[in-house]
């Protein structure tokens, strides 16, 4: 009888070599993909063959054909969106996670996955300065963390109003008022939509030019509430990096609406709590009821890991947990599945544990601080260029740049920089103006990467002006 697993060791060794080879070139290859989706679709596609192919041949061909259409996102000069890269220990642990193959909702069935998550959860609570008893769910990202927070908040405020939303749903329930900042992240509204609270019903409180909730606008919004309420604050605006004024807002909400649920979307901003010099930005945020963040942003673990923290673990469990006779959740230990919307799930605790263990407290602090300092380096250098404006107050890792006070010029500079391939920046609209967005959040990025990227931006601006 042949061994069906024969050859797997060679396959994995070869795959590791191919992956290492790719990663070895990552810092020097063009950041932007060199081939389109359509080109790769044609290479990969055609009718599903009847006969299978040797695994090694499949992998060799993928390793040959796919990279041209990859964006060098984990590399040191990708500054688009707000995405981390892959810390070496986290990437390696992610490989092990696939090999270990744990479906991780139950501590009884997969104790290793549960234990790694448990330790990582405690370390993260400590790192962020959140209430020690908080419960933690490891979800796929900030979107699911925001959704989970809305589901938990919905549970708690309706329970206080005498309504069991888990059993009865929202039909006939007391109305829940939701308050957000006018510039809250789109995924918060997706969370509201999926939790049945409606994206369009949120009362959006006016923000200042940095995107921070205005206290003078929050006050009347709170005064207009009667009944159950969820108030959503933000740590780190996706464009400017700005923080809502928690130190004033949280006590004000507690005083005016003692039963309200306060949520903080801190997808990347919550990591300011781990820094040397920027903790003041999140001062007061720990007074909320729930917090969402991403490990695949500033902790630089591979996709996909988001985190939801809840002060009241009983509410968290009540909104998320499920049972069936065949599912061995014994309640005596921390079951990861009690804190997330999914049943089957990857053992996300392993890469998070490895990242934290490999960095230590000081390593996390240095990484986040370094990114913020590099964002300042970008801003200072660009501000010194004639015709270049920095439109935000660079408090964290986000820089918003505008060229010649012109949407067209800014678009053209971005296109030229992207085509050059040395670095990658995206665009967006800020207070009505088109801007180039710079997000520095990758563990790998150093001063030399910023300086190389600045050279390309300067050249692109020069060429754009020369072209008229």
Ligand X SMILES: Cc1ncc(COP(=O)(O)O)c(C=O)c1O
Residue 85 binds to ligand X (criterion: CB under 6 A): no
At its nearest, how many Å lie between ligand X and the CB of residue 185?
Answer: 4
Q: Taking the CA atoms of the chain, what radius of gyration do you get in angstroms?
A: 24
Q: Pick from 110, 187, 398, 418 the residue near ligand X by CB under 6 A.
A: 187
Q: If binding means CB under 6 A, how many residues of this protein chain bind ligand X?
A: 14
Stretch that binds ligand X, among 96-104, 141-149, 375-383, 406-414 (CB under 6 A): 141-149
Residue 67 binds to ligand X (criterion: CB under 6 A): no
Residue 211 binds to ligand X (criterion: CB under 6 A): no
Q: Pick from 236, 337, 341, 349 the residue near ligand X by CB under 6 A.
A: 236
At its nearest, how many Å lie between ligand X and the CB of residue 145?
Answer: 7
Residue 306 binds to ligand X (criterion: CB under 6 A): yes
Residue 294 binds to ligand X (criterion: CB under 6 A): yes
Residue 142 binds to ligand X (criterion: CB under 6 A): yes
Residue 242 binds to ligand X (criterion: CB under 6 A): no
Stretch that binds ligand X, among 117-125, 261-269, 429-437, 441-449 (CB under 6 A): 261-269
Residue closer to ligand X by CB (options 163, 339) is: 339
Stretch that binds ligand X, among 262-270, 318-326, 332-340, 440-448 (CB under 6 A): 262-270
Q: Pick from 26, 31, 72, 82 the residue near ligand X by CB under 6 A.
A: 82
Residue 141 binds to ligand X (criterion: CB under 6 A): yes
Distances (CA, A) of 109 to 113, 114, 219, 304: 9, 9, 49, 23
Q: How far apart are CA 290 and CA 298, in angstroms?
A: 19
Residue closer to ligand X by CB (options 185, 317) is: 185
How is the beta sheet containing 398-403 ordered, strand by strand?
388-390, 398-403, 433-439, 426-430
Stretch that binds ligand X, among 117-125, 260-268, 357-365, 420-428 (CB under 6 A): 260-268
Q: How far apart are CA 403 and CA 382, in angstroms?
A: 10
Q: How far apart are CA 269 and CA 243, in angstroms?
A: 8
Stretch that binds ligand X, among 209-217, 220-228, 263-271, 440-448 (CB under 6 A): 263-271
At its nearest, how many Å lie between ligand X and the CB of residue 267?
Answer: 3
Residue 118 binds to ligand X (criterion: CB under 6 A): no
Residue 348 binds to ligand X (criterion: CB under 6 A): no
Residue closer to ligand X by CB (options 293, 453) is: 293
List contacts with ligand X (CB under 6 A): 82, 141-143, 146, 185, 187, 236, 238, 265, 267-268, 294, 306
């Amino acid at each position: 009888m042949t061994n069906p697993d024969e050859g797997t060791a060679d396959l994995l060794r070869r795959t590791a070599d191919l992956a290492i080879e790719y990663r070895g070139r990552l810092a020097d290859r063009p950041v932007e993909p060199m081939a389109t989706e359509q080109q790769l679709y044609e290479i990969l596609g055609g009718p599903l063959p009847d006969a299978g192919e040797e695994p090694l041949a499949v992998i060799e061909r993928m390793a040959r054909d796919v990279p041209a259409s990859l964006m060098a996102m984990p590399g040191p000069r990708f500054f688009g969106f707000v995405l981390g890269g892959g810390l070496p220990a986290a990437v390696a642990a992610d490989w092990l996670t696939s090999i270990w193959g744990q479906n991780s909702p139950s501590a009884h069935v997969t104790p290793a996955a549960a234990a790694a998550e448990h330790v990582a959860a405690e370390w993260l609570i400590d790192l962020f300065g959140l209430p020690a008893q908080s419960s933690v769910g490891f979800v796929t990202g900030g979107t699911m963390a925001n959704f989970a927070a809305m589901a938990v908040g919905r549970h708690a405020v309706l329970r206080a109003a005498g309504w069991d939303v888990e059993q009865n749903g929202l039909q006939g329930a007391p109305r829940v008022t939701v308050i957000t900042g006018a510039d809250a992240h789109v995924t918060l509204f997706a969370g509201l939509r999926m939790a049945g609270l409606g994206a369009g019903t949120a009362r959006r409180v006016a923000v200042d030019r940095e995107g921070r909730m205005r206290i003078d606008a929050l006050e009347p919004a709170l005064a207009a509430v009667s009944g159950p309420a969820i108030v959503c604050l933000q740590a780190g605006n996706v464009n400017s990096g700005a923080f809502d004024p928690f130190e004033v807002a949280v006590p004000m909400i507690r005083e005016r609406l003692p039963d309200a649920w306060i949520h903080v979307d801190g997808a990347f901003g919550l990591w300011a709590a781990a820094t040397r010099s920027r903790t003041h930005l999140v001062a007061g945020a720990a007074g909320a009821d729930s917090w969402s963040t991403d490990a695949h942003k500033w902790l630089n673990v591979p996709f996909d890991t988001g985190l939801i923290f809840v002060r009241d673990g009983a509410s968290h469990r009540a909104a998320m947990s499920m049972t069936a006779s065949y599912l061995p959740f014994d309640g005596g230990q921390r079951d990861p599945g009690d804190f997330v919307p999914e049943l089957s799930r990857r053992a996300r605790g392993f890469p998070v544990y490895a990242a934290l263990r490999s960095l230590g407290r000081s390593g996390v602090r240095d990484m986040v601080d370094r990114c913020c300092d590099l964002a300042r380096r970008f801003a200072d250098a660009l501000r010194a260029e004639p015709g270049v404006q920095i439109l935000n107050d660079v408090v964290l890792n986000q820089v918003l740049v505008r060229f010649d006070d012109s949407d067209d010029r800014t678009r053209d500079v971005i296109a030229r920089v992207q085509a050059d391939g040395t670095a990658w920046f995206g665009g967006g609209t800020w207070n009505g103006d088109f801007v180039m967005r710079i997000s520095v959040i990758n563990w790998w990025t150093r001063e030399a990467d910023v300086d190389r990227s600045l050279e390309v931006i300067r050249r692109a601006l020069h060429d754009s002006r020369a072209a008229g």
